């Protein structure tokens, strides 16, 4: 039975086009094989979509670590795994380790704002955790979940590039962050903002950038940002290369150095691995047990084809979205300081021109006088 699953898995990998960067078909197939009987069903009589999700959650939490493509993937540090499994009441390994112990002090809430599919706008009763979920089309339900994860990660990381670590920024904090960002890339004595600043326009623009980033940070769909910052502060000592207790989410989002996106990239690859793993496992079981969809052969054939097509398109979009996200954030690392430098240079030129203009008339008058000192 396991060899049959492995064969089906390889076929499904080829159909869905999984050979990319870190998340390769071989890694997924190897991980499925390592999970062995944890992913198999002894009987298909009472099989349902909810059972498939629960079996996946039980397997990846029982064996949460996997090394493949020279990378250690961790299921119990994946927001996708947590939110998917939390929807069906299967998050036992998370309760005392990574996610659930951190709360937002003023509201006594856990680090995640959203706990079920409904929080992502999926209101279909068929997708409710109280049902078998057989009528829930996961090829439509999962993409909004994963897209939200990527979007929140990107917004929080971009905010972090500007030094934002709180939801409300007083005027004084904006000035401090703007000065700190500028000094990190230019002379330590640079005063970008404040009473002695020679760059009021650049300062105003920089504060606007930071304010915009702060709004994205505050409007996170998944996280309570303050709780996330508290979590990251507590595990700061673990956020180093080679640390055995490295935590993907807080370290990848808030503790990457300014000249590197290594751990943020690792965070995205970790999420993508378990997202792709579930999609392929789901399609394997669904293909082997089509009665979950319908008793009609015509409906089964059409629906499975449509689901495979949607998932294939989604996985291609995921690959492009992750590549685009990493590229855009690297641009902020590399290009934004240049943009800021040109703004400073432009403002220096304008200031020099204005000062020169105030000296022009006296200089011309003095020149005329020196040419003919006896002229009245």
Average pLDDT over residues 112-130: 79
Number of domains in the chain: 1
CA dihedral 295, 299, 302, 305 (to 10 degrees): -30
The confidence score (pLDDT) of residue 275 equals: 92
Q: Is the pLDDT confidence value at 271 over 90?
A: yes
The confidence score (pLDDT) of residue 56 equals: 92
The confidence score (pLDDT) of residue 359 equals: 65
The confidence score (pLDDT) of residue 3 equals: 40
| Contact between residue 168 and residue 174 where contact means Cβ atoms under 8 Å apart | no
The confidence score (pLDDT) of residue 81 equals: 92
pTM summary value = 0.79
Long-range contacts of residues 99-102, Cβ cutoff 8 Å, at least 24 apart: 102/227, 102/228, 102/230, 102/231
Cα gap 1→21, rounded to integer Å: 30
Average pLDDT over residues 286-290: 81
Rg (CA), the chain: 28
Domain that holds residue 276: 2-128+142-351
Domain assignment present for residue 267? The answer is yes
Q: Which residue has the tokens 């309570």?
A: 224
Q: Is the pLDDT confidence value at 102 over 70?
A: no
The confidence score (pLDDT) of residue 258 equals: 60
Q: Is the pLDDT confidence value at 15 over 50?
A: no
Domain assignment present for residue 135? The answer is no
Render 192-206 in DSSP notation, one character per residue.
-SSTT-S-HHHHHHH
Q: Is the pLDDT confidence value at 4 over 50?
A: no
Domain assignment present for residue 362? The answer is no
Domain assignment present for residue 357? The answer is no
């Amino acid at each position: 039975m396991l060899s049959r699953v492995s064969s089906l898995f390889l076929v499904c990998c080829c159909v869905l086009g999984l050979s990319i960067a870190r998340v390769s078909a071989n890694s997924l197939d190897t991980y499925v094989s390592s999970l062995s009987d944890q992913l198999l069903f002894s009987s298909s009589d009472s099989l349902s979509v909810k059972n498939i999700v629960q079996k996946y959650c039980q397997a990846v939490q029982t064996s949460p670590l996997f090394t493949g493509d020279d990378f250690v993937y961790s299921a119990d540090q994946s927001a996708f795994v947590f939110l998917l499994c939390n929807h069906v009441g299967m998050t036992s390994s998370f309760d005392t380790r990574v996610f659930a112990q951190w709360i937002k002090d003023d509201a006594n809430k856990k680090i995640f704002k959203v706990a079920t599919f409904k929080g992502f706008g999926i209101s279909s009763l068929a997708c409710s955790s109280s049902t078998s979920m057989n009528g829930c089309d996961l090829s439509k339900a999962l993409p909004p979940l994963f897209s939200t994860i990527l979007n929140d990660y990107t917004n929080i990381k971009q905010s972090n590039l500007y030094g934002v670590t709180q939801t409300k920024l007083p005027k004084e904090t904006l000035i401090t962050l703007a000065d700190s960002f500028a000094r990190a890339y230019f002379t330590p004595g640079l005063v970008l903002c404040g009473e002695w600043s020679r760059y009021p326009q650049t300062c105003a623009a920089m504060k606007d950038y930071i304010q915009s980033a702060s709004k994205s940070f505050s409007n996170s769909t998944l996280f309570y940002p303050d709780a996330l910052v508290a979590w990251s502060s507590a595990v700061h000592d673990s956020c180093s290369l080679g640390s055995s207790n490295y935590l993907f989410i807080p370290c990848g989002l808030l503790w990457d150095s300014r000249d590197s996106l290594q751990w943020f990239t690792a965070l995205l690859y970790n999420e993508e691995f378990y997202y792709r793993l579930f999609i392929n496992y789901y399609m394997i079981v669904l293909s082997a047990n089509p009665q979950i969809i319908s008793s009609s052969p015509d409906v089964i054939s059409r629906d499975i084809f449509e689901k495979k097509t949607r998932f294939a398109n989604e996985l291609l979009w995921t690959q492009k979205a992750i590549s685009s996200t990493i590229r855009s954030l690297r641009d902020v690392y590399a290009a934004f300081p240049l943009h800021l430098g040109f703004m400073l240079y432009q403002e220096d030129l304008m200031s020099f021109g204005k000062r020169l203009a105030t000296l022009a008339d006296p200089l011309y008058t003095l020149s005329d006088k020196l040419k003919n000192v006896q002229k009245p």
